Structure 1
Amino acid sequence: MTVSTAVAEGMAQPSASDIDSTYRKITWRLIPFLAFLWLLAWIDRVNVGYVKLTMLDELKWSESVYGLGAGIFFIGYFLFEIPSNLMLQKIGAKKTLMRITLGWGATCVAMAFAKTPETFYVLRFLMGAFEAGFLPGVIVYLTYWYPSGRRAKVFSLITAASALSTVIGGPLAGNILNLMGGVGGLSSWQWVFLIEGTPTVLAGIATFFLLTDHPKDAKWLTAREKQLVENELAKDHQALGEREHSIFAALKDSRLWLFVVIYFGIVAANATLNFYGPSLVKELGFTNPATIGWIMSAAFVFGAVAQIANGSHSDRQQEVRWHCAGAVLLGAVGLLIAALSQGGSATMVLTGLVIAVIGTSSAFPVFWQMPNRLLSGAAAAVGIALINSIGNLAGFASPFMLSAVKASTGGLAPGLIAIAVIEALAAMLIIWFVPRIHAAKKKAI
């Protein structure tokens, strides 16, 4: 007997509480582990921002070597993201996320032995290549389980882990740098990579056993619960109307490329905060790595709370455009405050940093609901990967630009102003053009 037949043969019409109960069960099963994987990804991705505090002096590397190495991660990310999401369509999310997690975890461990700039560049490139596809893969994966009206909140619970990664990773890296130097004949920065990469490898193995590709495959759902999810997804698909399924048609759509440009601006700010936030704090006179880690941790606590709050409010209001644009604009204002306060009040610099983190972080979960309402099927897999991969090139451009600006001017202020302008332009594009896009579909966001 199939699930549909079982339901048809006597199961009562589900109430709202039945549906909510089913989705609470799904959320408790999937979201904490996905958030944990994203937490590990961000700890491993941005720990170079803390390692930089001692690694550069020990290895006699320049700011330019660091800037190129930090940013080259996103070149690998760009090149391998679309192939990764196409592979997800063929082999499933469980195997894809396992492959990704094992790969970047092993590469993080290998970073402990990067003693030359060339090795540093290669390993950072490989880390980006392995991690490519994780975020867009999760975005597509959630569409298999949740209707659009429930996704912003659950996605915010996952993406909040990127902010929490600094809450955990900052103090962790700072204390490792302070305490582990010389242990086992290794430098403290080597221990950061070893200690933070090993749990990721173990989590990659666990992925195969803890995730389920589709609701119909979930042994932990009852037949009735599976049917409830199937019905909710069918109703959502009907409500959204016709969406683009063709990969090639989606690539010709100007709306897709607009989202690429918008996302580029958001990522430029986010990469700046993650890769140069610790350096910005250090310039205020905080020299202890652990102290710097705790300050960054406090800033990103606010960012994590803001992500969840913005995503939840967006779902309740069934609105994403202003929730995204407002957050992005707030991030730009924060960066501008931090830049203009350089050389003046340390309190104002830190205030600007916190505002920038709150705004930029809280934009991510609601941003992805816009292209999700445009694309479906294979077009969604490729389109979301395209937006994420090209947008994440800003993660290469912004650290490289900031390192060049700091090398030539001795400070970060001009670079921070430039990033603030780019982020503000992204907000304006959302306000000016996104309504027109969806007006054409007779369905505003």
Structure 2
Amino acid sequence: MDQPLGTRVMRKVTLRIVPLLFVLWLVNFLDRVNISFAALDMTKAFHFTPEVYGFGAGIFFIGYILFEIPSNLALQRFGARVWLTRIIVTWGIVSGLQAFIFNETSFVAVRFLLGVAEAGFLPGVLYYLTRWFPTEQRARAIGQVMSANMIAVVIGAPLSTLVMSMNNVGGLAGWQWVFIIEAVPAVMLGVFTYFFLAGEPANARWLHNDEREWLLATMKRDSEQAASMGTEKFGVALRQPIVWLLGLLYLLVGIGFFGITLWLPQIIKQISGMSTLRVGMLSALPFLLGAVSMVLNGRHSDRTLERRWHLSLPLAIGSVGLAASAMGHSAMMELAWVCVALVGIGASLSVFWSIPSSFLTGRAAAGGLALVNVISGFSGFLGPYAIGWIRGHSPDFSNALFFMAASVATAAVLAATLPFPDVRRQRIKTEPRSVS
């Protein structure tokens, strides 16, 4: 029996687009967080204090923030294929340069430049997905792509700690090889992306005529729904309080997420006293569970077209997990609660990004998604730096975990109360007819 037209189209779109974006996202996040594993030896080599490491790890996001909106507007002008290729290749080159830092100043400078190079990648990918996936299927697609956040750590944790054993190979330290080896795939994938990434649905030759027309009609419907809310122009999006509030919500989530991501290896090392390789293996577990919860929650949210509680309840679980981890009485108990925290936080990520993309379109989608990410991007600086400061003034990570728990709890309250649109009420019940 033939599949319905819409099902057939979206299966083709998913298979063509999602695997490549997943791999790009995985390599991007790996290059962003491999600093957390390299830091196990790098901080000792240069005698970096927790405050210095936290500042250097977080300064990446200042460069990212400053160039975020211009980069995403350039993506809309030059096209996703060209601009994402530019981002990927330049971040790969700069990521490799981290292997050659020699003091605190060079550490901070290269991390800042890495943020500049990567600026626009996250909202660029999200904007690209809004061009191909209807509202009712967007959270699932975003979840499938963004699960690479978690899988990057699952792969990167044992890989990075294994590469770190290459001490004195070619006269370089193991932590230097981490940056060099993990930068190469980014440059190669950037070139591949230029030739393979699909442009716009109207130019998708790999879709049959009736499939292309169905997709164009469906995406036009979504665009008209968003435009009817007055959120098509970038200037209008800037004046929407909900856009700024969603940015604040994601900032609070990010403090917990990036705090765990950039400090987890050191947390596990302190509470367990294990070898670097075993620390890498254990660091992967919470993120593996987070990846599973991200995909499953996004899929269920799409099926029910319910966003609010699919966002707020996982955040509440994440907050409880962080707080409970701070009160754990053993290394394994603390790690178990960190797993709970990542399950909750991970489950929230795909659903969150489906919310602003449901009422922003055109330049408002490009700039508005970038604005949300700019505001939230401060979490990538504030989280690691604040945790480094707390860590420098307390004997263990408990206070830092309480700080992250409070931030995620506040995000849960915002998610439960913010007046963002109800997707179920917006949805047009009738699917566009296919053209025979």
Same fold (TM > 0.5): yes
- 2:432 is matched with which residue? none
Amino acid at match of 1:358: V
Amino acid at match of 1:360: I
Residue 438 in structure 1 maps to residue 424 in structure 2: no
- 2:136 is matched with which residue? 149
Deviations 1:307-349 (A, max 9, x none): 11011011111111110111111111111111122xx222220
- 2:111 is matched with which residue? 124
| Correspondence for 2:214 among 212, 228, 236 | 228
Offset of residue 241 of structure 1: 6.3
Deviations 1:185-231 (A, max 9, x none): 00000000011011111111111011022011122222222112112
- 1:36 is matched with which residue? 23
| Correspondence for 2:403 among 394, 415, 418 | 418
Preserved CA contact (<8 Å) 1:330 1:356: yes
Q: Secondary structure at the match of 1:145?
A: coil
Alignment of 1:309-348 (within 5 A): 309-341=296-328, 344-348=329-333
| Correspondence for 2:175 among 174, 177, 189 | 189
- 2:190 is matched with which residue? 204
| Correspondence for 1:167 among 154, 165, 168 | 154
Alignment of 1:276-287 (within 5 A): 276-287=263-274
| Correspondence for 1:242 among 228, 236, 240 | 228
Alignment of 1:254-273 (within 5 A): 254-273=241-260
Q: CA RMSD, aligned part only?
A: 1.7
In 2, the alpha carbon distance for the partners of 1:175 and 1:28 equals 32
Offset of residue 374 of structure 1: 2.3
Residue 56 in structure 1 maps to residue 39 in structure 2: no
CA 236–396 in structure 1, closer or farther in 2 if over 3 Å, else same: same
Preserved CA contact (<8 Å) 2:306 2:424: no
Offset of residue 300 of structure 1: 1.1
In 1, the alpha carbon distance for the partners of 2:21 and 2:96 equals 21
Offset of residue 236 of structure 1: 3.1
CA 89–152 in structure 1, closer or farther in 2 if over 3 Å, else same: same
| Correspondence for 2:367 among 382, 385, 391 | 382
TM-score normalised by length of structure 1: 0.92
Preserved CA contact (<8 Å) 2:237 2:368: yes
In 2, the alpha carbon distance for the partners of 1:141 and 1:433 equals 26
Runs ≥4 residues deviating over 2 A: 234-241, 437-444
In 1, the alpha carbon distance for the partners of 2:131 and 2:423 equals 26
Offset of residue 443 of structure 1: 4.9
In 2, the alpha carbon distance for the partners of 1:439 and 1:33 equals 31
In 1, the alpha carbon distance for the partners of 2:273 and 2:122 equals 33
What is the percentage of aligned positions where both structures have the same residue?
36
Q: Secondary structure at the match of 2:170?
A: helix
